[in-house]
Amino acid sequence: MMADNRVLIYDTTLRDGAQAEGVTFSPVSKIHVAQMLDSFGVDYIEGGFAASNPKDMAFFRDIKKVKLKHAKIAAFGSTRRAGIAVEEDRGAQALLEADTEVCTIFGKSWLLHVEDVLKTTAEENLAMIEDTCRFLKSHGKEVIYDAEHFFDGYKDAPEYALKTLAAAKTGGADVLVLCDTNGGCLSHEVYEITSVVKKTFEMAVGAHTHNDSETGVANAMEAVRAGAVHVQGTINGFGERCGNCNLVSVVANLIRKTDKTCLVDPEQLKNLKAVSQFVNEQANLRDNQRAAYVGDSAFAHKAGMHVDGVRKVAVSFEHVPPDSVGNSRRILISELSGASNVMEKLLEMGLQNIDRKSPEIREILSKMEQMEQEGYVYESADASFKMLIKKVLKEHKNFFDLEGFRVIVEKRSKDEPCVSEASIKLKVDGETAFTVGEGDGPVDALNMALRRALSTFFPSIEGVQLADYRVNILDPDEATGARTRVQIESTDGSSNWGTVGVSENIIEASWEALVDGIEYKLFLEEEQD
């Protein structure tokens, strides 16, 4: 029996989430996501629309070969069609063919949809709901009834909306899920209407909210406060239009901010950021930098007063400990920075013998201000700022000396693509290296040549790749003579770091950022040794 404070987490990333613009999962990705969700502690995984497409039906077949620890697989479908016996309805038959333990069906709660979309009568709609629930229950299924457009339907005709829930209950539904399908309800409405449903029906009630009013997560939390014990949503809030309720935030809120529990325990919550990133990766999407709890900016501090406060008492500017959700604190460096920000960077670098009032701190701040006036920014270029600190403290060393490089971009005919080639000559401990690299563009070619030249001396460089490359024109009025800021994000597969370069020549700016990225990796290795 479920504890009174337990909330069941129902994930529909693979069905409702896949309906989002730009989101798609391959058959293999769907299996991988399901395994991850099960390991994380989700109670239900909705695999797809049983009558929709062969890929969803293939998932139901393939997932049977996977041993899951916790989660139940749910097939999604609708009530029978108007005027057709449920036994003859192809949608109902498809739900049986999916052969899942759980069937989730949606039905209409709003008379507008009943009369103007389905083109049927109010009474026939009630029969469609009851018949389908009873049919699935007779085949031994756990039945979750999604009352589509329930909140809008209740606001339009409350008595009828409640009758649709009564029909599902009479048919044997195990859970009544109240859906804000259009995502237009405010939180106080969700709380009030969910409270009415809880008082009317002595059974489990759930919530399925959308984010069109930016209230998806808040509405789900208000439904729980009103007594809902089942929350539907998607990882990272994927979904139709503006998306669904974001389960990443809901799970964190439940565990960290309420007396409720779910199958995900506090220790498992430390995997929250990894779960978010994994689903983004499987959907071939970039992580949302500003996502609550799990975004790179979620615990990033920029203003000097904030940094000083969080160093003294973390809860003064952090609503939960970053590591409790698998994230980490970041101290940003910008024109708003003060001694506290610089001190935090020094501590990160293991330099603990410098006082915040020391002349070195003032010198670093002065140098940073000078560089920012020239166009450098260090918020996303943490590695370059640490290299700057090393140079100011006279602890920087050159791992190699550049003797020169040349970059050629050649177009051999109008129908052929450009070819980029870079040659580079440098010295490492007195030994000369000369290499040539080809790439998709001049910067890629230069990067390939640099890594090829250094890999003989520093084998770990082979594992460093460019993860992102961004260009900003700083003074566009100067036209082709304008200064260019290049920001590069590098990765070795386990960690990422950012660097920056500025010059009137985009290749030189890129070179500066590339060198900082390589040197940062080598400095890290030296410290580890």
Residues of the chain with pLDDT > 90, as a percent, come to 73
Residue 244 has a pLDDT of 98
* Tokens representing residue 356 in the block: 């915040």
Instruction: Give the distance from CA 245 to its chain's centroid.
Output: 13
- DSSP 3-state assignment of 420? strand
Instruction: Give the distance from CA 167 to its chain's centroid.
Output: 38
Residue tagged 């139901």 (tokens): 60
131-163: per-residue pLDDT in tens? 999 999 999 999 999 999 999 999 999 999 999
Residue 278 to residue 33: CA distance in whole angstroms: 8
Residue 215 to residue 133: CA distance in whole angstroms: 30
From the list 19, 167, 8, 184, the residue with the least C-alpha distance to 102 is 8
- Helices 359-373, 339-348: axis angle to 10 degrees equals 100
406-439: per-residue pLDDT in tens? 999 998 888 888 899 999 999 999 999 999 999 8
- DSSP 3-state assignment of 181? coil
- Answer for the pair 229, 4: CB distance below 8 angstroms, yes or no: no
* Tokens representing residue 55 in the block: 């890929």
Query: Tell me, which fold does domain 8-264 have in CATH?
Result: TIM Barrel (3.20.20)
Q: Which residues are within 8 A (CB) of 503 and not within 5 positions of it... i.e. 6 or more apart? A: 483, 484, 509, 512
Residue 324 to residue 318: CA distance in whole angstroms: 12
Residue 14 to residue 374: CA distance in whole angstroms: 48
Q: Where are the domains of the chain?
A: 8-264, 300-392, 401-528
Q: Residue 397: pLDDT above 90?
A: no
Residue 1 has a pLDDT of 45
Q: Residue 343: pLDDT above 80?
A: no
More confident residue, 464 or 293: 293
80-117: per-residue pLDDT in tens? 999 999 999 999 999 999 999 999 999 999 999 999 99
Residue 468 to residue 487: CA distance in whole angstroms: 8
* Cβ neighbourhood burial of 54 (10 Å; 0-12, 13-18, 19+): exposed
Mean pLDDT score, 468-494: 85
Alpha helices in 214-271 (DSSP H): 216-225, 247-257
- Answer for the pair 299, 322: CB distance below 8 angstroms, yes or no: yes
Most confident of 52-56, 369-373, 398-402, 491-495: 398-402
Alpha helices in 41-149 (DSSP H): 54-62, 90-98, 111-116, 122-138
Residue tagged 């699935």 (tokens): 136
* Cβ neighbourhood burial of 87 (10 Å; 0-12, 13-18, 19+): exposed
243-286: per-residue pLDDT in tens? 999 999 999 999 999 999 999 999 999 999 999 999 999 999 98
Torsion on CA atoms 258, 263, 269, 271, rounded to nearest 10: -160
Q: In 383-419, which positions are buried (b, 16+ CB within 10 angstroms) versus exposed (e)?
A: bbbbbbbbebeeeeeebbeeeebebeeeeeeeeeeee
* Tokens representing residue 318 in the block: 């952090």
Residue 311 has a pLDDT of 76
Lowest mean pLDDT among 124-128, 292-296, 492-496: 492-496
* Cβ neighbourhood burial of 459 (10 Å; 0-12, 13-18, 19+): exposed
Task: Compute the C-alpha angle 200/201/202, nearest 5°.
Answer: 125
More confident residue, 301 or 472: 472
Q: How confident is the model at residue 2 (pLDDT cuts 50, 70, 90)?
A: low
More confident residue, 474 or 92: 92
At the top level of CATH, the class of 401-528 is alpha beta
205-229: per-residue pLDDT in tens? 999 999 999 999 999 999 999 999 9
- Helix (H) or strand (E) run with residue 508 in it: helix 506-528
Task: Compute the C-alpha angle 9/12/14, nearest 5°.
Answer: 135
* Tokens representing residue 13 in the block: 């990333």
Q: How confident is the model at residue 334 (pLDDT cuts 50, 70, 90)?
A: low
Lowest mean pLDDT among 80-84, 473-477, 512-516: 473-477
The type of residue at 228 is A
Q: Residue 347: pLDDT above 50?
A: yes
Residue 352 falls in which region: left (phi positive, over 0), alpha (psi -120 to 50) or beta: alpha
Q: What's this model's pTM, rounded to 2 decimal places?
A: 0.78
Q: In 159-185, which positions are buried (b, 16+ CB within 10 angstroms) versus exposed (e)?
A: ebbbbbbebbbebbbbbbbbbbbbbeb
Q: Which residues are within 8 A (CB) of 491 and not within 5 positions of it... i.e. 6 or more apart? A: 464, 465, 467, 497
CB atoms within 10 A of CB 352: 8
DSSP string of 95-121, one letter each residue: HHHHT-SEEEEEEE--HHHHHHTS---
DSSP string of 421-474, one letter each residue: EEEEEEEETTEEEEEEEEESSHHHHHHHHHHHHHHTT-GGGGG-EEEEEEEEES
Q: Which residues are within 8 A (CB) of 233 and not within 5 positions of it... i.e. 6 or more apart? A: 10, 11, 12, 208, 209, 216, 220, 244, 245, 246, 247, 250
Residue 503 has a pLDDT of 94
Q: How confident is the model at residue 3 (pLDDT cuts 50, 70, 90)?
A: low
* φ, ψ dihedrals at 12, nearest 5°: -120, 30
* Cβ neighbourhood burial of 353 (10 Å; 0-12, 13-18, 19+): exposed
5-19: per-residue pLDDT in tens? 999 999 999 999 999
Residue 379 has a pLDDT of 80
